Amino acid sequence: MRRKKTRRQSLIPLLPNLLTTGNLFFGLLSIMTSIQIVALRGLGDVSGEWVYRKFWWASAFIAIAAVLDFFDGKLARALKSETSFGLSYDSLSDLVSFGVAPGVLMYSWVLIDSGKLGLMVVLFYIVCTALRLARFNVQSKTVEKFGFKGLPSPMAAGLVYSPIMLFSAILSSPDEKVMWFYLVVAPFAGLLMVSDIPYWKYPRFRFWGPFNALVVASIIITAVVTNPEIAIISVVYLYCLLGLVFYLIRQLRKKTAPVVDELESRETHL
């Protein structure tokens, strides 16, 4: 019995790391798929439908990596097996899945035609992802224990891969407008990651409860199963914009508060 318990206790901490390995695995799959598309496109022996399907899967692999990344931390906390090794391994996997993979994907999708400017944008995005994850490692138990400081890297990756997933599903080729969209959105996503804008880790609703959570989860699962491209792009862009809007509102309130206090003090003196 003691041997069985010891084996079980030694295997339990491996479970979150297995999910992290899956995260890394799907990030690498996305990178390899993007490289395969560029290589075979150059030979000219592939159909347009095949290219769209491959781009869709290259995007979907990053989405799967994001799901695994979401659950590995939750599992580690539930099993009380959080370790420094797990934190470092998770960040290294995130750099591949949400930094390098989206960078290679958007470069192979449209930015390869934009020359050095596109390459610079991709490199900037990947470096910002690395900086974001390094800062998270330092602040994970203090500043970012209950909320994120800066846009989390899986959501930043979603800003990049979700439009590609949608365009691939409707078999639409990227044009010059799409290229300029990525030339703006990619560095913007990188700046959001290294910014001080707070983003919440979990939904904060007063009506949140076991039954309501089940209803919301059912709606999300149904949306993802029936229309994964629209569901992912809606959630990612809404999360990003809400955090940014709430931050700007707080900043405006801070600026207007001293002015109001000064006016009130003058009225009292008069």
Give residue-wise pLDDT tens across range 157-180: 999 999 999 999 998 889 999 999
Q: Which amino acid is at 221?
A: I
Q: Is the pLDDT of residue 105 over 90?
A: yes
**Residue 118 CA from chain centroid, whole number:** 21
Q: Is the pLDDT of residue 10 over 90?
A: no
Cα–Cα distance, 177 to 17 (Å, whole number)? 41
pLDDT at residue 57, as a whole number = 96
Cα–Cα distance, 185 to 189 (Å, whole number)? 6
SS3 149: strand
The residue that leads in pLDDT, 202 or 262, is 202
Q: Is the pLDDT of residue 208 over 60?
A: no
CATH classification number, 2-202, choose in 1.10.3470.10, 1.20.120.1760, 3.40.640.10, 3.40.50.740:
1.20.120.1760
Read off the pTM.
0.87
The length of the chain in residues reads 270
- pLDDT confidence band for 141 (50 / 70 / 90): confident
pLDDT at residue 222, as a whole number = 81
Sign of CA dihedral 189, 193, 197, 198: positive
Helical (H) or strand (E) element with 21: helix 14-43
Helical (H) or strand (E) element with 8: helix 2-11
pLDDT at residue 262, as a whole number = 57
Q: Is the pLDDT of residue 191 over 90?
A: yes
Cα–Cα distance, 3 to 259 (Å, whole number)? 69
- pLDDT confidence band for 268 (50 / 70 / 90): low
Strands 147-149 and 198-200: antiparallel
pLDDT at residue 269, as a whole number = 54
Q: Is the pLDDT of residue 5 over 70?
A: no
Lowest-pLDDT range of 3-17, 88-102, 184-198 = 3-17
Q: Which amino acid is at 224?
A: V
Q: Are 192 and 132 in contact (CB under 8 A)?
A: no
Lowest-pLDDT range of 9-13, 60-64, 194-198 = 9-13
pLDDT at residue 255, as a whole number = 79
The domain ranges of the chain are 2-202
